[in-house]
Structure formats: C-alpha cells, structure tokens
Amino acid sequence: MTIKHVAPTKKIHSFHPPQRTLLGPGPSEINPRVMAAMSLPAIGYLDPVFVEMMEELKLLLRYTYQTSNALTFPVSGPGSVGMEYCFVNLVSPGDKVIVMRNGVFGGRMIENVQRAGGVAVVVEDAWGEPCDPEKLEDALKANPDARVVAFVHAETSTGVQSDAKSLVALAHKHGALTIVDAVTSLAGTPVMVDEWNIDAVYSASQKCLSCTPGLSPVSFSDRVVEHVKARKDKIHSWFMDMNLLLGYWGETTRTYHHTAPTNSLYALHEALLLIKEEGLENSWARHHRHHLALMAGLEAMGLRYLVKEGARLPQMNAVHIPEAVREREAEVRKTLLTEFNLEIGAGLGPLAGKIWRIGIMGYSCKPENVMLCLSALGSVLSDMGLPIQVGEAEAAAHHAYAQMHAQEAKRKVASIR
Ligand SMILES: Cc1ncc(COP(=O)(O)O)c(C=O)c1O
C-alpha cells in the first residue's frame, strides 16, 4: 500500500474563523448558549434522553410556528431541503401548482414544482413588490383545477413581505392547499400557522432562529398529512418521503430513518428555548424596533429603500446603492468585511450591483450592530467621496431609539394609572 499524503507542501492547522458581525441575508450570529449546546457530548439519535429532547423540540417549534400541528419537526438539511420536502410530498405528477414569484426564491419553487412532475402556473410580481392577492385570485379563477398555491412570505432577495393570511384565504376559497416559505420570516415577524390556516410551511435554522445552518423546521396540517397519506403514487424522494420520516419524528414510533444530526438538534433546541424565554411577541417587537433605528440612520445617509413602506421586512433591509459607487459596490462590502469585520449582503439576479441587503436577524438584531453598521458604512462611503457627514446616521438612529424609549415609558405609565 502506498499512502497518499495531504498536499505535502501545505501545512494545515486547526481552523479559527474570525469573529464577524453578520448583517447579511443569513446566516445570523449565534448566541453563545446555542454554541455551547452544540458542543455537548454526542449521544445516539435513539437514546431515550435524546428522544425526550426531540419531544421538547417539537413543542418549542409548535410555539414558534403558533400551531398545534402534530407533524412539526426539523428536517435534516438547509431551508432548500425543507422547500423540497413540501413540494415532493404535496405535488404529484400532473398536479397544477400556482407559484407566486417576486424574487429568487419564488423562482426556486417553480423548479421544485417542475422537478416533482407538476405543472407550474406562474404569477409574476416585480422584484421588491409583495405578491398581489388580486393576481392570485385571477389565476385561481383561470385555473380551477389548481391543487396547490405556493409563495414566499418573506422574500430575502428583496426584503419584501407578502400578506400570507390573505393569500392563504384566497387559495382555500378556491379549494387549493398552500405551501408557504417562512425561511426569513419565522421569529422575525408573525407567522401564525393555525390562525392563517397555512397547510404546509418550512423555514431554516440560520435566519431569525439564529441557530447553526443545516436544519429546516417544517409543519404540515392534518389536512396535508391526510392528503399525502392518500397519494396512490410513490413519493419521488426516498429521503423526504413524509410517510417514512414519520417513523422517526412521528408521535408513536422512533425507528431509524437516517442518522439525525444530534448536536445540531441540541443547538436548535437551545435557540428555540431562547425565543420562548424572550417571548415571540417580544422577538417580533425587537426586530421592528431595531429596523426603525437602522432605517432612520440609512435614510439620514441618503440611502433609499427598495421596498415601499408597509411591505418592508424589519429583518431584511434592502437599499439602493448610490449611483456614484455602483461600479465599486463590491469594494464597499470588501472594506466593511476586512476593516470592520462586518458582513452585509449583495443584490441577487436583476438586483445584483443595484442593492445592498442588510439583515438584522435573531441574535444579530441588537443596537450595537445597528450602530456599527451605520458607522462603518458611513465612513466607507464618505471615504469614497459621497457627501456623507460621518456621525449623522448614528445621530438619526439614536434619535429614533430615544423616541421609541420615550413612547414606551409613556405606555408603561399609562398602564399603571
Ligand atoms: C426565502 C428563502 N427560501 C429558501 C432559502 C433556502 O435556504 P437555505 O439556504 O438554508 O437552503 C433561503 C435562503 O436564503 C431563503 O431566503
């Protein structure tokens, strides 16, 4: 036997990533409690202690999704796997699916429909606009045989939020089931699965849940479970077949399906516990509060939002890149990363080179990050010759915070009287 050595000329050391401030479109920063949970001793995925933790994890997920759906669990894999899990289980070959597309991820839904053998009817909205309920109603009237309606609640590529409640109600009025992408919305803005009657929903661990990437919480209503169980054809994917996954994540059985990522699941348990301790409403309010301060600062710098007021996601702020630095926008992001250890996101698809995406998600959503972002971006843009008064953005954010604190204090006094 001859042993082949690892790149003999390169000395490989342990990996030590730098400490970054993560204000991109995800992943977000991770609470040290979550990292500590991840490094706890490994145990088997059928160990009774682990099984007990799985039950708590399901309870915590139901709380986060505001649902009593029994089939609520984390699929092993990133958000894209959760997306695929929904489509392969709900869509049979030949099924007509209405997909609302207003950004990158609606486009991926179309791919999923087609790969599951379905027929996608695409309803387009401009990038940066929410999905239009009127267009959905027209499509449902024109396609009475549509079985499923799918849309992205929070389009990460543009920072727009769609009215999930109305879209789901319309789909149901016309007898269609719904698949909702809540990857960026969950825990950042309300996702009321039971109240809105969402049928199938998926999210991802690395956005407002602030866990390590690689898990995709999903929830199916009983109606969907019945629909999938009644399918006569074999579900196209073995790994994502709901009926087989039920053997491991279901209510009554715990049998081997695949080796679950145990330590990542400890981490998700801790991340969800943090959300429960904070309270969902407080988590939504925190995202809203820091968004208002960030927005005040960005606008004071002269930056304009892509999305109109009222449809903006607090956790995903997309701003137009000033004309004068468009050619050098990658340099701006590189300077932020190398000099300030700060990551912000670039635009995607037709918005590449036109917008920056500033995410304040989960553990990243805190005042020190808002202030650092405004200070760092202001100084880089000022150095590049933009007419920006360094410090003005921070002052505007400070003013916004002060106003919110004053309103909050008034509210507290009024509630005591
Ligand atoms: C709205 C949306 N859907 C789906 C995905 C895919 O998730 P992942 O990258 O975890 O596979 C993303 C990722 O950014 C997203 O923002």
In this structure, the residue with its CA closest to atom 16 of ligand 1 is 156
> Distance (Å, rounded) from C-alpha 180 to C-alpha 203?
9
Check residue 353 and give its pLDDT. 98
Place of tokens 């926008």: 329
**Does the structure show a pLDDT above 90 at 9?**
no
Mean per-residue pLDDT, 399-405:
97
> Distance (Å, rounded) from C-alpha 323 to C-alpha 101?
27
Nearest atom, ligand 1, residue 81 CA: 11
The 3-state secondary structure of 18-75, one letter per residue: CCCEEECCCCCCCCHHHHHHHCCCCCCCCCHHHHHHHHHHHHHHHHHHCCCCCEEEEE
Closest CA to 211 of 187, 192, 176: 187
CB 207 within 8 A of CB 189: no
Closest CA to 347 of 186, 161, 156, 126: 156
Q: 79: CA distance to ligand 1 center in Å?
A: 5
Check residue 416 and give its pLDDT. 84
pLDDT in tens, 53-84: 999 999 999 999 999 999 999 999 999 999 99
Which of 86, 101, 105 to mutate for ligand 1's pocket (most ligand atoms within 8 Å of CB)?
Answer: 105
Helix (H) or strand (E) holding 152: strand 146-152
Q: 410: CA distance to ligand 1 center in Å?
A: 40
What fold characterizes domain 279-416? Aspartate Aminotransferase, domain 1 (3.90.1150)
Q: 78: CA distance to ligand 1 center in Å?
A: 8
Task: Give the torsion through C-alpha atoms of 237, 238, 243, 247, to 10 deg.
Answer: -150
Q: 39: CA distance to ligand 1 center in Å?
A: 25
Q: Report DSSP state, residue 5.
A: P
pLDDT tier at 5 (50, 70, 90 boundaries)?
confident
Q: What is the pTM of this model?
A: 0.97
Check residue 151 and give its pLDDT. 99
Angle formed by the axes of helices 392-416 and 280-300, nearest 10°: 140
In this structure, the residue with its CA closest to atom 7 of ligand 1 is 79
Closest CA to 73 of 213, 238, 199, 202: 202
Assess whether the previous peptide bond of 190 is cis (omega < 30° from 0): no
Closest CA to 180 of 220, 128, 229, 126: 220
Place of tokens 């007021």: 309
Q: Which residues are registered as beta bridge partners of 319?
A: 305, 356
Rg (CA), the chain: 23
> Distance (Å, rounded) from C-alpha 86 to C-alpha 77?
13
pLDDT in tens, 173-222: 999 999 999 999 999 999 999 999 999 999 999 999 999 999 999 999 99
**Residues whose beta carbon lies within 6 Å of some atom of ligand 1:** 25-26, 78-80, 83, 105, 152, 156, 181, 183-184, 204
> Distance (Å, rounded) from C-alpha 266 to C-alpha 4?
37
Nearest atom, ligand 1, residue 204 CA: 10
Q: 183: CA distance to ligand 1 center in Å?
A: 6
Check residue 203 and give its pLDDT. 99
Check residue 312 and give its pLDDT. 98
Check residue 243 and give its pLDDT. 95
Biggest alpha carbon–alpha carbon distance for the chain: 84
> Distance (Å, rounded) from C-alpha 201 to C-alpha 236?
19
**Does the structure show a pLDDT above 80 at 8?**
no
Picking from 8-17, 82-91, 259-268, which range would have the lowest pLDDT averaged per residue? 8-17
CB 249 within 8 A of CB 73: yes
Domain boundaries in the chain? 32-277, 279-416
pLDDT tier at 234 (50, 70, 90 boundaries)?
very high
* CATH number attached to the domain at 32-277: 3.40.640.10
Structure tokens at 233: 């054809």
Q: 108: CA distance to ligand 1 center in Å?
A: 10
Residues making up the chain, counted from first to last:
417
Mean per-residue pLDDT, 332-340:
98
